[in-house]
A = this chain, B = another copy of it.
Amino acid sequence: MQAKIQDVQPICAVDYAFRRIGGKYKGRLLWYLHNHQVLRYGELRRSIVDITPKMLTQTLRELEEDGLIHREVYHEVPPKVEYRLTTVGQELVPFIEHLRDWGMQQMRKENIPMIGDTNCITND
């Protein structure tokens, strides 16, 4: 498992920030959560098309421990768990949004095809 943010002393603020949102799935996860407000585990699994249960759980736990998302468990049968952004997590949305705009522009310029859809949103 990845080293926790708190356990590695950052070199500087850029280093620190990049480690909090780095990794293969964190960006998309935050972005999808922003777009849907609340998502259940299974919905996330379908949104992040190429993710395995293991990586989804792992990434969710890291983001939760890091204070960027909130996890709400409903003790029902069948079980139900909802995820949403925390206030701190929401602060990152403008950044991801701009980065996504830039990415879209680049992909159009270079004629790069993508697997999902243009605005990264999956409607289930």
Contact surface of A with B, Cβ cutoff 8 Å:
6, 9-18, 20-23, 27-28, 31, 49-50, 88, 91-92, 94-96, 98-104, 106-107, 112-120
Which B residues lie within 8 Å of A101 (CB)?
A: 13
Determine whether the beta carbon of B95 is less than 8 Å from that of A13.
no
Given contacts A12-B114, A15-B120, 12 further A-B contacts (CB under 8 A): A11-B115, A12-B28, A12-B117, A12-B118, A14-B103, A15-B116, A16-B103, A16-B114, A18-B27, A20-B103, A20-B106, A98-B98
Chain B residues lying within 8 Å of A31, measured Cβ to Cβ, are 14
By the criterion CB–CB under 8 Å, are B102 and A92 in contact?
yes
A12 & B120 in contact (Cβ 8 Å cutoff)? yes
Q: In the assembled complex, which residues on chain B have CB atoms less than 8 Å from the CB atom of A23?
A: 22
CB within 8 A of A14: which of B28, B50, B94? B28
Select from chain B the residue with minimum beta-carbon distance to A23: B22
User: A10 is contacted by which of B95, B96, B112 (Cβ under 8 Å)?
Assistant: B112
